[in-house]
């Protein structure tokens, strides 16, 4: 081998063994673990020349208990290892139910820097901050009630003449967002007479997510009267102005209840209002005879009938006693008012 060929081989070998930066040992200012040629397991991740790209959405919904950059932002890099490292950077706890957590750009840059990725190698885009909330689903209270009612009807039917009604309307149930959500209802011990408790649980994939009790009480079926139109004080109830309907009450209705036909309104009653006994009174009979009116005075026996004319000195309904002045003699007698408006003397002359 010629001399110049030998020198060329030595130079090539030296270049192959030299570190990329061209510095050796003490010549390099980096710590030993970061010097070129150090074992890869001891190196701090080196950021490539192309920047790490992090795009922040305005808001995001998450699951789980902890936040990482990859769960709240879109992370891209030419180096897959760098992208995985950045995606796994922790950002703290996840928000609780109905809670929101805002994470801004400085916070993200600080967390990346603490993991060995300097801010100069990060390219941010999108929103100035991302609002993180928990991915949740709301189960309406009406769905809970329907599930509880179905369970109660199959396990403990109401006695004859009664129905189970919801004692307290439950609140909506909030659960983590998931697929295959089902409601499971079951009875719970409850020692109060006339009440029952059903627990409704939301589950998915065989896992119980949340549960809420629904309380029922017995109600008795009865009939009641309601005003079909506005009633004024003194209006007499009749089929034309009231309606009858079936309703539920906490206690049994009286066995002798009848529609309140013939009673009068003691006060104004608005249309649609339930007509209760406290709102009614006996009607005042209309005056069959009024003061100053001419009346027929009648005396009737088994074999005779006497009639005469008189003047009523008082108002009175049928069946009442009034004073009447005889038109022929001018005498005043006490008479009972008959249903047809005639009067029948009963006590003789009054002076």
Average pLDDT over residues 280-290: 76
Q: Whole-number mean pLDDT of the chain?
A: 82
Q: How would you classify the pairing of strands 66-68 and 90-93?
A: antiparallel
Residue 342: pLDDT above 80?
yes
Report pTM.
0.47
Q: Which of 64-68, 272-276, 295-299 has the lowest mean pLDDT?
A: 64-68
Q: What would the CATH number be for the domain defined by 223-281?
A: 3.90.1210.10
pLDDT in tens, 106-148: 999 999 999 999 999 999 999 999 999 888 888 999 999 999 9
Average pLDDT over residues 165-190: 88
Q: What would the CATH number be for the domain defined by 138-219?
A: 3.10.129
Residue 310: pLDDT above 90?
yes
Q: What would the CATH number be for the domain defined by 294-350?
A: 2.30.30.760
pLDDT in tens, 8-26: 333 443 434 344 444 444 4
Hey, which CATH number is domain 45-134, 2.60.480.10, 3.40.50.2300, 3.90.1150.10, 2.40.30.10?
2.60.480.10
Q: Which of 17-21, 168-172, 211-215, 330-334 has the lowest mean pLDDT?
A: 17-21
Distance CA 333, CA 345 (A): 7
Confidence class for position 289, pLDDT limits 50, 70, 90? confident
| Structural domain boundaries in the chain | 45-134, 138-219, 223-281, 294-350
What is the per-residue burial (b if ≥16 Cβ within 10 Å, else e) of 232-267? eeebebeeebbeeeeeeeeeeeeeeeebbeebbbee
Average pLDDT over residues 27-47: 40
Percent of the chain residues past pLDDT 90, beyond the cut: 46
């Amino acid at each position: 081998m010629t001399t110049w060929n030998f020198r060329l081989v030595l130079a090539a070998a030296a270049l192959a063994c030299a570190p990329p930066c061209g510095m050796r040992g003490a010549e390099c200012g980096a710590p030993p673990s970061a010097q070129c040629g150090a074992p890869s397991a001891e190196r701090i991740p080196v950021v490539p020349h192309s920047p790490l790209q992090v795009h922040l959405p305005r808001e995001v919904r998450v699951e789980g208990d902890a936040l990482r950059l990859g769960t709240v932002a879109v992370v891209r890099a030419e180096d897959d290892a760098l992208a995985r490292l950045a995606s796994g950077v922790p950002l703290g706890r996840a928000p609780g139910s109905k809670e929101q957590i805002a994470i801004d750009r400085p916070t993200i840059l600080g967390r990346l820097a603490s993991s060995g990725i300097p801010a100069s190698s990060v390219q941010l885009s999108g929103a100035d901050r991302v609002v993180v909330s928990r991915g949740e689903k709301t189960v309406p209270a009406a769905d809970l009630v329907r599930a509880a009612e179905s369970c109660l009807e199959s396990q403990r039917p109401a006695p004859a003449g009664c129905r189970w009604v919801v004692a307290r309307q439950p609140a909506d149930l909030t659960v983590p967002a998931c697929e295959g959500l089902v409601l499971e209802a079951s009875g719970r011990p409850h020692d109060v007479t006339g009440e029952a408790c059903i627990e409704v649980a939301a589950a998915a994939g065989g896992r119980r997510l949340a549960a809420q009790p629904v309380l029922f009480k017995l109600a008795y079926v009865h009939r009641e009267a309601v005003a079909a139109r506005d009633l004024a004080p003194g209006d007499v109830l009749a089929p034309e102005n009231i309606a009858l309907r079936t309703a539920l009450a906490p206690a049994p209705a009286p066995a002798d209840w009848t529609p309140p036909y013939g009673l009068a309104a003691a006060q104004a009653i608005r249309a649609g209002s339930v007509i209760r006994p406290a709102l009614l009174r006996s009607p005042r009979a209309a005056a069959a005879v009024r003061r100053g009116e001419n009346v027929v005075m009648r005396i009737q026996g088994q074999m005779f009938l006497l009639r005469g004319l008189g003047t009523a000195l008082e108002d009175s309904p049928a069946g009442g006693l009034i004073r009447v002045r005889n038109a022929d003699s001018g005498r005043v007698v006490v008479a009972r008012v008959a249903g047809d408006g005639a009067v029948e003397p009963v006590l003789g002359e009054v002076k």
